[in-house]
């Protein structure tokens, strides 16, 4: 928030950009900032998350987990990063769509993994990239993917969509100008970002971090439309969770 405050207090200069993600949407919904103060320029990345369990978990499939969570609502725990953040919202949306209530336990990223492996929580929510090594070693087993299509590298892991649950929230990353800057400047900056995103160097960075599967680049207009949809989803879920009235 200090960085955002500093950015918004400066005069619009047509080249100072703010890195944005779901946190800005959440802060708007919680009344901590007004997202109308920024102008979306480019969404560069769009990650995909998974529910994962340790190798010896009793939950062999996502159907096993759903059945147990419906029988014992709130008893099963999911490790997430932070509270009232992106992870919490995704689990909340999953609970709403499936009627299979999972409780969330906030940790740091490393604590979330270690507590899952140690058997202190039942499920881990994490993006594919950070969990890739533990998936490949067999220490973590993915149960369901939150995206529109299966990952080519995980062809046996079903998506929530194909199971009948419209849960596709992903952690995204983008850039914004101040709202009172010009649309012309936004388009000019997007052209620069677009060129950079198409470079061989950036493509390698994407693949190294497993971000190549879903990261369709969005320009100012498409990004604005995407943000509107995100606001609707986060408002609905955070209200259902009791974070807002």
The predicted pLDDT at position 241 comes to 86
pLDDT in tens, 112-122: 999 999 999 99
**DSSP structure string for 4-59:** HHHHHHSPP-SS--EEE-HHHHHHHHTTS--GGGEEEEEEEEE--EEEEEETT-S-
For residue 115, with 0-12 CB atoms within 10 Å meaning exposed, 13-18 middle and 19 or more buried, which class applies? middle
What are the boundaries of each domain within the chain? 49-146
**pLDDT tier for residue 1 given thresholds of 50, 70 and 90:** low
pLDDT in tens, 185-219: 999 999 999 999 999 999 999 999 999 999 899 99
**pLDDT tier for residue 175 given thresholds of 50, 70 and 90:** very high
Interatomic CA distance for residues 3 and 18, integer angstroms = 9
Residue pair 49/126 in contact (Cβ under 8 Å)? The answer is: yes
Give alpha helix (H) positions in the chain. 2-9, 22-29, 62-71, 86-98, 109-117, 128-137, 183-197, 200-208, 220-240
For the whole model, what pTM was predicted? 0.93
pLDDT in tens, 40-93: 999 999 999 999 999 999 999 999 999 999 999 999 999 999 888 999 999 999
**pLDDT tier for residue 12 given thresholds of 50, 70 and 90:** confident
Interatomic CA distance for residues 78 and 18, integer angstroms = 31
List the CATH code of the domain at 49-146. 3.40.190.10
Average pLDDT of span 142-167:
97
Interatomic CA distance for residues 112 and 82, integer angstroms = 10
Report the mean per-residue pLDDT for the chain. Answer: 94
């Amino acid at each position: 928030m200090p960085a955002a405050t500093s950015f918004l207090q400066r005069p619009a200069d047509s080249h100072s950009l703010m890195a944005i993600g779901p946190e800005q949407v959440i802060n708007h919904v919680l009344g901590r900032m007004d997202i109308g103060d920024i102008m979306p320029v480019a969404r560069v990345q769009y990650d995909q998350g998974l529910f994962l369990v340790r190798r010896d978990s009793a939950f062999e499939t996502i159907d096993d987990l759903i059945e147990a969570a419906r029988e014992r609502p709130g008893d099963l725990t999911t490790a997430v990063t932070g509270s009232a953040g992106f992870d919490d919202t995704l689990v909340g949306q999953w609970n709403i769509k499936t009627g299979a209530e999972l409780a969330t336990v906030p940790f740091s990223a490393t604590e979330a993994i270690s507590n899952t492996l140690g058997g202190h929580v039942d499920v881990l929510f994490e993006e594919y990239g950070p969990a890739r090594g533990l998936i490949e070693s067999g220490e973590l087993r993915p149960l369901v993917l939150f995206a529109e299509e299966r990952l080519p590298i995980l062809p046996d892991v079903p998506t929530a969509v194909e199971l009948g649950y419209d849960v596709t929230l992903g952690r995204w990353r983008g850039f914004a100008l101040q709202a009172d800057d010009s649309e012309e400047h936004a388009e000019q900056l997007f052209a620069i970002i677009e060129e950079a995103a198409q470079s061989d160097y950036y493509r390698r960075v994407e693949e190294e971090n497993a971000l190549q599967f879903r990261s369709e680049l969005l320009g100012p207009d498409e990004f604005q439309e995407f943000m509107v949809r995100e606001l609707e989803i986060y408002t609905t879920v955070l209200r259902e969770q009791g974070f807002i009235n």
